[in-house]
Amino acid sequence: GVDSYWENAYHWEDLGRHQSDDGLISLANSLARRAVRMLYEQAGNCTLGDVKLLEVTTYHHKDQYKGSLVLFESKVKNTEKAVKIESWVRPIDSFTILQHAPPASRIKNVL
């Protein structure tokens, strides 16, 4: 709807043309590697190796961040083949109160 939008946060072809956010690139690469590891854990026969980050696109609803699509390429081990994978990642809405001090007892929601 009108209250939702997608925003391109990173594209590999933009390297060198615009200043890149090193933190975003590092986090997205880590998430891509985690997605490959999860495929291996679930399928058991996943033979994917190194990843190359291609795109990060964020999704917002009513100006609140809801998640990102991370598009990456991964090489199939022992071959020259590569596959493109898109993974949806989102924050987990949770927090833990470590100590019940008076201000902490008033917290209703972090977001």
The whole-angstrom separation of Cα 1 and Cα 61 is 9
Taking alpha carbons only, the member of 52, 53, 47, 54 closest to residue 79 is 47
Per-residue pLDDT tens digits of the chain, which is 111 residues long: 689 999 999 998 886 656 678 888 899 999 999 998 888 888 777 788 889 999 999 999 999 999 999 999 999 888 889 999 999 999 887 766 666 666 656 666 655
